[in-house]
């Protein structure tokens, strides 16, 4: 492969190693994070309850004030009623007093209802606060216990990052951009190795999506320095170490005039196998032939 693809494969490997270490840290701290979220949810619920309680208390205070105001008005009307000059005036004050009394009892009823709500709310808030404190302690205990593991995993990540950064620096900006985009999309799996499923056939597949690839993909990757994307999954294709040209390129059709070295070995092998076949057939053939000839004769 060309330098660009070699640098990309190095980046890919360093990136995957870093991602794997990050994944281990995430897996190890998963329960702690779940616990932290539980605490956050409880805190949110608690502050919501406090807020509701505050509003109810404000409402209750307003109703108390309303009742007091009406009491004072009723008192004043009673005084005016006592000083009424005639029965008609007296009756008018009476109606006004009764109206105030009806409104006052309505307000009182409402205030009682809200005070009940406030009392219930206070108990609930207290219970929730206790529960929340318990979960907070649990969360801290988990974090304390995880401390060493997290530190070790974090150290591993910190140790892998420079190699990843160096590998990224060795890739051209354009190729790096393509790589990063694909890595984001495929959780790091930006590249895909070629594979040759059948040793005897010069056919290649993308190992990520198992899509068949055109035959010259190997030669292109081997000989040129350009990015080749899988037409199906769009990952950047590369030649893995286990697929060197001697394993990848078909030798079925021996070139007409190839320099010595390669051809004789293949020829010998073929001759050997041909001889084996002959050997295995020779003992039977003459007998069969004789028999059949005898039969005919």
214 binds Zn ion (CB under 5 A): no
Q: Compare residues 175 and 211 and give the one whose CB is closer to Zn ion.
A: 211
> Which of the ranges 6-14, 137-145, 211-219, 280-288 carries the binding residues for Zn ion, by CB under 5 A?
211-219
Closest CB 187 distance from Zn ion, rounded Å = 15
Strands 191-195 and 204-206: antiparallel
With CB under 5 A as the rule, give the number of residues binding Zn ion.
7
- Of 78-86, 117-125, 138-146, 206-214, the segment contacting Zn ion by CB under 5 A is 206-214
Binding mask 61-100 for Zn ion (x = CB under 5 A): ----------------------------------------
State which residue, 84 or 233, has the beta carbon closest to Zn ion: 233
Give CA–CA dist 70/63, Å, rounded: 10
Give the shortest CB-265-to-Zn ion separation in angstroms: 35
Beta-carbon neighbour count of residue 154 at 10 Å? 14
Binding mask 220-239 for Zn ion (x = CB under 5 A): ----------x-xx------
For 172, the 3-state DSSP assignment is coil
**Whose Cβ is closer to Zn ion: residue 164's or residue 179's?**
179
* Alpha-helical regions (H) of the chain: 3-28, 30-82, 87-169, 173-185, 217-223, 245-248, 262-281, 284-296
To the nearest whole angstrom, how small is the minimum distance from the Cβ of residue 220 to Zn ion?
A: 16
Taking CB under 5 A as the rule, does residue 177 contact Zn ion? no
Name the phi and psi angles at 196, rounded to 5.
-120, 95
Q: Residue with structure tokens 């076949």?
A: 277
Cα 160–Cα 164–Cα 170 angle in degrees, nearest 5: 150
C-alpha distances in angstroms, 186 versus 16, 23, 177, 235? 11, 14, 14, 9
Interacting residues toward Zn ion by CB under 5 A = 206, 208-209, 211, 230, 232-233
């Amino acid at each position: 492969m060309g330098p660009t693809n070699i640098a990309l494969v190095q980046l890919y490997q360093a990136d995957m190693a870093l991602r794997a270490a990050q994944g281990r840290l995430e897996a190890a701290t998963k329960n702690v994070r779940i616990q932290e979220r539980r605490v956050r949810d409880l805190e949110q619920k608690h502050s919501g309850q406090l807020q509701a309680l505050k509003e109810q208390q404000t409402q209750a205070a307003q109703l108390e004030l309303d009742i007091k105001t009406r009491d004072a008005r009723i008192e004043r009307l009673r005084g005016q009623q006592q000083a009424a000059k005639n029965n008609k005036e007296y009756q008018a004050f009476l109606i006004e007093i009764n109206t105030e009394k009806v409104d006052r009892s309505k307000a009182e009823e409402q205030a009682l209802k809200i005070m009940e709500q406030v009392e219930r709310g206070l108990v609930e808030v207290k219970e929730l606060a206790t529960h929340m404190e318990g979960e907070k302690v649990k969360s801290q205990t988990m974090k304390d216990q995880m401390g060493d593991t997290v530190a070790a995993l974090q150290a591993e990540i910190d140790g892998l990052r420079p190699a990843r950064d160096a590998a990224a620096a060795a890739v051209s900006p354009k190729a790096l951009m393509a790589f990063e985009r694909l890595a984001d999309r495929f959780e790091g799996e930006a590249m895909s190795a070629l594979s040759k499923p059948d040793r005897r056939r010069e056919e290649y597949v993308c190992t990520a999506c198992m899509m068949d690839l055109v035959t010259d993909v190997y030669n292109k990757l081997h000989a040129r320095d350009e990015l080749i994307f899988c037409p199906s999954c769009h990952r950047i294709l590369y030649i893995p170490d286990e697929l060197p040209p001697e394993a990848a390129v078909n030798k079925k059709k021996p070139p007409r005039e190839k320099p010595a070295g390669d051809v004789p070995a293949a020829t010998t092998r073929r001759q050997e196998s041909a001889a084996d076949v002959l050997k295995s057939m020779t003992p039977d053939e003459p007998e069969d032939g004789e028999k059949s000839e005898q039969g005919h004769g």
